[in-house]
Amino acid sequence: MAIITEQRAGGVNRCAFLDMIAWSEGTSRIPNSDDGYRVLVGATPAHPLLFDSYVAHPNVLNKAFDSTAAGRYQEKWSNWVSYSKSLSLRDFGPLSQDQMALQQIRERGALPFIDIGNFEKAVRLCSNIWASLPGNGYGQHTNTILQLEAAYTGAGGALIQTA
């Protein structure tokens, strides 16, 4: 579960969307990972790769993936440097990771769609951020919109009601 409160995030749908991303990226399913907040890129449930300290982004390069992605939302070190400054984040702890992910979602214009439950539109807008979301060009495994919707509603997210 996201650490950020519903009130601070801006509602239950936003927290559920964060939980869906963590599920999609596979981080929340890694044992002993603080619900994904301590995961390094390339981790699997059978072979967890974790970092020990939240003081700063671990900046560990996984050569197999040519990536420094880390944390619940698999944030690259270079992105972390920029966002930590612009958002005045003191560490790479769970709350900071949640705030950074929400800022990325905000920048894609997806928050209003999340708020009203237009889940598919929000996912489309965010697909270029997270490789596990459908519709990106990363060439990695992606989850289907139905799988993502199940994770989102399972985390308490509401969908727009259509007639």
pLDDT digits (tens, 9 = 90+) for 40-83: 999 999 999 999 999 999 999 999 989 999 999 999 999 999 99
Residue 15 maps to a domain: yes
Task: Measure the N-to-C terminal CA separation of the chain; round to a whole number of Å.
Answer: 31
Concatenating the DSSP letter of every residue in 3-51 gives: SS-HHHHTSHHHHHHHHHHHHHHTGGGSTTSTTTTTBBTT--SSS--B-
User: Which helix (H) or strand (E) element contains residue 80?
Assistant: helix 77-86
pLDDT digits (tens, 9 = 90+) for 6-50: 999 999 999 999 999 999 999 999 999 999 999 999 999 999 999
**Triad 65, 71, 75: Cα angle to 5°:** 60
**CATH number of the domain within which 33 lies:** 1.10.530.10
Q: Which residues pair with 75 in a beta bridge?
A: 70
Residue 127 maps to a domain: yes
Residue 161 maps to a domain: no
pLDDT digits (tens, 9 = 90+) for 82-136: 999 999 999 999 999 999 999 999 999 999 999 999 999 999 999 999 989 998 7
Angstrom distance (rounded) from CA 105 to CA 96: 14
Quote the mean pLDDT of the chain: 95
pTM assigned to the model: 0.95
What residues are labeled active site? 25
By C-alpha distance, which of 75, 45, 72, 73 is closest to 60?
Answer: 75
User: Is residue 145 classed as helix, strand or coil in its secondary structure?
Assistant: helix
* Number of domains composing the chain: 1
Residue 1 maps to a domain: no
Its domain, for residue 13, covers: 6-154
Residue 162 maps to a domain: no
- φ/ψ (deg, to 5) at 55: -55, -40
For residue 67, what are its two tokens?
A: 């990536």
